[in-house]
Structure 1
Amino acid sequence: MPDWIEVVIRSFCIIGGLFFITKLLGKKQLSKLSFFEYIVGITVGDIAGTITMDIELNILNGVVSILIWTLFPLVISHISLKSKKFRDVVEGKATTFIQDGKILEGNLKYEKYSTDELLEQLRKKNIFQVSDVEFAILETNGELSVLLKKEKQPTKWEDFFGEGPKQKTPLTVIMDGNYLESAIYEGGYSLDWVRRKLQEKKRNVKDVYLAQLDSDGNLYADYYDDELKKPETGEEK
């Protein structure tokens, strides 16, 4: 067998295996990673790349190595759910950077965080004055969470009118020109009812790219033929 064909076969096998492993580890792996998850991700990727390109290596040994490295996050995640102390060791603890509008310099130094980096993170959240911050904490995944002082927080509905009406998640009922029947019935509606809503707009389901129902039962529809025409840039010659 030519070497390039073996590389192709290995690549497809590894890609399929990594996809299965990613699904097995769950959606958490797609967000901010912990220290250990970061190490595992780099190592698994390195092993996968090596056994894909180096045809002299035994692919079975590589797969076994990947499975072992994949097993560790699953075991650690399971233990972390059971033990707070173990979770603190593996994932670390959140660190307070600002409290009552005052910067805790010792905590910044402990996390090797400069003042410029702190101000940059605050600016990304549209905060330009440290004194506006009631509480800021560096999460274990490296994200900075910030709570503004009460007088600096945006005004909410409940500040004037109390608790507002309950809002439901918009329900997608049509996608790519097809009714999503299971979603329609689970939302408490019928297919005929949605059809009538669409007929009121004088449209056919095949014309619809996406349609959603809001909390009040209003139908929003985006059509295939609603693309804006490009403006003319000059006279025809």
Structure 2
Amino acid sequence: MPEWINIVIRSVVALVYLFILTKLIGKRQIRQLTYIEYIVGISIGSIAAFMATDMDGPMFHSLIAMTIFALFPVLMEWLSLKSKAIRNVVEGQATILIKDGKILEDNLKKERLTTEDLMEQLRMKNVFRVADVEFALMETSGEVSVLLKSQHRPVTPQDLDLPVAQAEEPQAVIMDGNIMDESLANLGLNRNWVRQELQKAGVALENVFLGQVDRAGQLYLDLYDDKIKVAPPQELKLTYALLKKCQADLEMFALSTKNKRTKQVYEKDAEHLQRVIDRMKPLLTQ
């Protein structure tokens, strides 16, 4: 057998076996690899390269070595699940870098980070003042997690005690100019509804690259021609505005009437409608 054919066979076998071993070790992103997995990855790659080019030694010797290296991190992962002490050794522990706005220089040296490195990591989290940080930790993956002090965190609807509609994944009902019947069925809609919405928007089906329906039943369109602007759906906002107008009219009627009983009816209806508007606002104003 020519030598080059032998190299091709060995290389293909090495690649296939590497793929099998990688599936065995498990799926992790590069930045999530432990020290052992990183070392094992380099070693297995070196053995595979040696196996592909070494014409003297038998192939199965390299396969045995690769198998042993691959099984070692699997064994360590299993032991880590059983023992926190082993997990701390294998995966390491998070290190506090900043506490209550103060940099812990000893921990910074322990992780071999310079002040510039720390500031770069903070800027990547959109933090530019160390004094604004409550905690900053270096995770075992090498990422820096940052918790801002409460007065410097972005305000959330929960902080303001505002109700917010639950987020749900929009459904794609049009792709590449084709209607997706399964997605429509999941939403309880049909092709006639899609055609009516496209007619309202003045858009032909074949011109739609992507069409999505949100939880409120509004259709958002992305066209092939990016120069054409499609106005966003306004039905919900118009409904909200109409409800607000009705509530204001009821209050005005209550102020203008001289009949005490009629005034009470208008005021009661206005309060009831206002409660309905408050409950529906997160959905109608999204």
TM-score of the alignment, normalized to the shorter chain, above 0.5: yes
Equivalent residue for 2:65? 65
> Where does residue 127 of structure 2 map in the other structure?
127
Structure 1 residues 23 and 180, CA, compared in 2 at 3 Å: closer, same or farther?
farther
Shift of 1:162: 3.1
Does structure 2 conserve the Cα–Cα contact (< 8 Å) formed by 1:197 and 1:219? Answer: no
Cα offset, 1:133, TM superposition: 0.7
Q: RMSD of aligned C-alpha atoms?
A: 3.1
Are 1:169 and 1:214, in contact at CA under 8 Å, matched by a contact in 2?
yes
Contact 2:172-2:212 within 8 A present in 1 as well: yes
Check conservation: 1:95, 1:138, Cα contact below 8 A: yes
- Which moves more between the two structures, 172-181 or 68-77? 172-181
Task: Mark the CA change 1:19 to 1:179 in structure 2 (over 3 Å): closer, same or farther.
Answer: farther
- The alpha-carbon distance between structure 1 residues 173 and 37, as it changes in their structure 2 partners (threshold 3 A), is farther
CA distance in 2, matches of 1:157, 1:76: 44
Query: For structure 1, which runs of at least 5 residues remain unmatched after alignment?
Result: 229-237
Decide whether aligned partners of structure 1 residues 22 and 163 sit closer, same or farther in structure 2, where only a CA change above 3 A counts: farther
Give the conservation status (yes or no) of the 8 Å contact 2:212–2:219.
yes
1: distance between equivalents of 2:56 and 2:174?
A: 51
Deviates more, 1:129-138 or 1:63-72: 63-72
The residue that corresponds to 1:235 in the other structure is none
* Residue 91 of structure 1, CA deviation: 0.8
Shift in Å, 1:123: 1.9
Establish whether residue 151 from structure 1 lines up as the match of residue 154 from structure 2: no
| CA radius of gyration, larger in | 2
Distance 1:63 1:146, change over 3 A: same
Of the three residues 203, 221, 225, the one matched with 2:205 is 203
Asked whether the 8 Å contact 1:97–1:136 carries over to 2, the reply is yes
Match of 1:34 in 2: 34
Distance 1:77 1:177 in 2: 48
Q: Note if contact 1:29-1:37 (Cα within 8 Å) is conserved in structure 2.
A: no
Deviation at 1:108, TM superposition (A): 1.2
* TM-score normalised by L of structure 1: 0.77
Paired amino acid for 1:120: E
Aligned to 1:232: none
Unaligned 5+ runs, structure 2: 199-203, 228-286
* AA partner of residue 92 (structure 2): G
Q: Tell me the alpha carbon deviations over residues 8-65 of structure 1, each in whole angstroms, 9 at most, x when there is no partner.
A: 2332332232223333333224442111111111111111222123333322222222
Aligned to 1:99: 99
Letter in 1 for 2:44: V
What is the TM-score of this pair, normalised by structure 2?
0.65
**Helix, strand or coil for the counterpart of 1:147?**
strand
Match of 1:88 in 2: 88
Which residue matches 1:43?
43
Moved more, 57-66 or 21-30: 21-30
The residue type equivalent to 1:48 in the other structure is A
C-alpha separation in 2, matches of 1:112 and 1:161 = 43
- Rounded Cα–Cα distance in structure 2 between residues aligned with 1:8 and 1:180: 46
CA distance in 2 between counterparts of 1:143 and 1:194 reads 47
Could you tell me whether the CA contact under 8 Å between 1:92 and 1:140 is conserved in 2?
yes
Whichever structure has more helix as a proportion of its residues is 2
